[in-house]
Structures are given as C-alpha cells and as structure tokens.
Amino acid sequence: MTEMEMLIIVVKTVIIVSVFMLFVMYAQYFERKIIAHMQARLGPMRVGWHGILQPIADSLKLFLKEDIIPSSSDKPIFYIAPIIGVIAALCSLAVIPFWEGLGVANLNIGILYILALSSVGAYCVILGGWASNSKYSFLGGLRSSAQVISYEIPMGLSLVGVMMMTGSANLSDIVKAQSEHWFLWYQPLACFVFVMSAIAETNRAPFDLSEAETELVAGFATEYSGMRWALFFMAEYASMFVMTALGTICFLGGWNGPDFGIFAHVPGIVWLTLKMSACIFIYFWIRATLPRYRYDQLMSIGWKIFIPLSLANIVVTGLVKILWIAK
C-alpha cells in the first residue's frame, strides 16, 4: 500500500466521521421535531430559525457539564463502556459502500463484520449498566444483553437469504446484484424480520427496554451524565445509522436509483442518502406511534416468531434457488 493510498483512506475516514457526527446531531433534532409534530406540538423552536441550532446548543451544554462518576462504581469499566459503543459503531461505518467504490474498505465479509461489531456494541450497554453499581442500570444492562443476543439471531438469519441470492457477503456485490430489482421484492419476509430485529438491536422504541423510562429511570444510562452520556447517545444513533445503511444496501438496492431521464444523472450517494433518511424516518415514526413492549412479549416475539420465520425464509430461498433457478 503506497502512501498515497493511505492518505486517501485517512481523508475518507475523516470525511465519513465528520459527516456522521453532523448526522448524529441533526438526526436527534429531526427526531424531536418529527415526534413533536406527530403529537401536535412544535418541538424545539427557540434556538435559531425553528430551533435549527438546537443540536449545537445541546452538544455545547453536554461538553460543559460536570462529569459525575458514582463513588462506588467500577471506574475503569465505567470510563470504557461508552467508548466501546462509539468505536464499535464507527468501525462498522468503514465497510459501508456509499457509492460505487466510495467506502473506506471493500471487505468481502462486510455483512459478517457489521453483525460482529453490532454485537460488540452491545457490550457498551452491558458494561455501562454493570459498572454503574445501580439497580436501574444493572437491570437495563441485563435486559439489553438478553435482548441483543435474542435479536442478533433472526437478524443474521434474515440476511442469510440475501447472501444466498447474491452468493457473496460483500456489500458492494450485494448492491450490484440489485441493479435490476430490489431484494425487498424477493425477500419481503426477511426484510420485515430485519427491520424489527434492527429496531430491537439498536434498543429503539418500541423495544427500548434497556432504557425504559417508566420503570428504570434511564436504564443503563442512569448514572451517566454530560459527555459520557452523549457518547452513549452517539453510539445509539451510530448503530441506527449503520442498521439503516445495512437495510438499504441489502433490501432497498443501495446506491441504485431509477435509470431514466434526469434520474440517471443523479449520483448514487444521493439515492443512498434518500433511502437511508426514509428508513430513519420510519424509526422515528414507529417510536411516535407504538408503546413499549413488555419484556416477555419482546422475548417471545424474538424466539417464537422471528427465528422460525427467518429459518423458513432461508429454506424457501434455498428451495427456489435449487429447483427453479439452478435448472
């Protein structure tokens, strides 16, 4: 690898991380705005035009806040937990192809890499909950560990269908295989299971049991404040970002757009951004609509419905591939 190539990779990384930080700030702004309007409120309105500078004010506030560490906490783990979450989520960004050849790394096991890092991301919640030495955090962390373990299985299995159709775990290859038709039309069941598991995997409503405000104060983040809490927040949005990117790439055709008229000249990254924004809007929309599931409901949905459904999907995909397509 020449120095030039390394420089390009560094520049790409810097651009992706900074764009991603902006995304985290403004995703939070739009989440507040969208949910407010769904509840007939206005949301942030005071900082700048329609509160457009609110995320900047918020992050300034979080930077300047006092760093409180509980005296009886397990300090090294308490420090490390939020950092693990952010790093795991940011590392997953490396393999996402934003356009033809526009990704930091073109890994031939992209899907596996993202799934593995999302499991590592679960450690931030578990360790944070454990190290806080508070019963709310502890319960939140334990719930999250069980939840993430249960939902990783259907999520991985739902992506197996996609990998079978492409014959590759490389994300760029998956997008190229969808240049004609999106996999959403071939794998609707897998797509459904993936969306639900992604919501559960990122601890978002209606499966946000690890931070259930009504019973656990703030769950695993109860004892965290200021910048450390912001890191947790960033990790949550980062994993949302990664999951929407993965969903878009595996089911919605990635950077492929309609190829007629003016649309053919629109760069692929615009299509990817549009599709991802739509997916993130669905995240917010579901959060504004559905109440939180009970813990046993969450578990039974995961084990009794999603895992059998995704297994059936694999069997059917395999049969179709052998019986019809291979002939």
Contacts to another protein by CB under 8 A: 34, 36-42, 45, 285-286, 288-290
Within 10 angstroms of residue 146's Cβ, the number of other Cβ atoms is 17
Q: Indicate the residue among 46 and 265 with the shorter CB distance to another protein.
A: 46
Rounded CA gap, 254 and 172, in Å?
A: 9
Q: Indicate the residue among 34 and 90 with the shorter CB distance to another protein.
A: 34
Q: Indicate the residue among 43 and 247 with the shorter CB distance to another protein.
A: 43
DSSP summary character for residue 252: S
Q: Indicate the residue among 182 and 284 with the shorter CB distance to another protein.
A: 284
- The encoded tokens of residue 57 equal 């004010």
Min separation Cβ 292 and another protein, Å: 14
The single-letter code of the amino acid at 106 is N
Min separation Cβ 42 and another protein, Å: 4
The closest of 320, 290, 293 to 306, measured between CA atoms, is 293
254: alpha, beta or left? (left if phi > 0; alpha if psi -120 to 50): left
Q: Indicate the residue among 56 and 288 with the shorter CB distance to another protein.
A: 288
Min separation Cβ 312 and another protein, Å: 14
Min separation Cβ 171 and another protein, Å: 29
Chain-centre distance for alpha carbon 88: 11
Rounded CA gap, 221 and 68, in Å?
A: 12
Min separation Cβ 34 and another protein, Å: 7
The single-letter code of the amino acid at 160 is V
Chain-centre distance for alpha carbon 33: 20
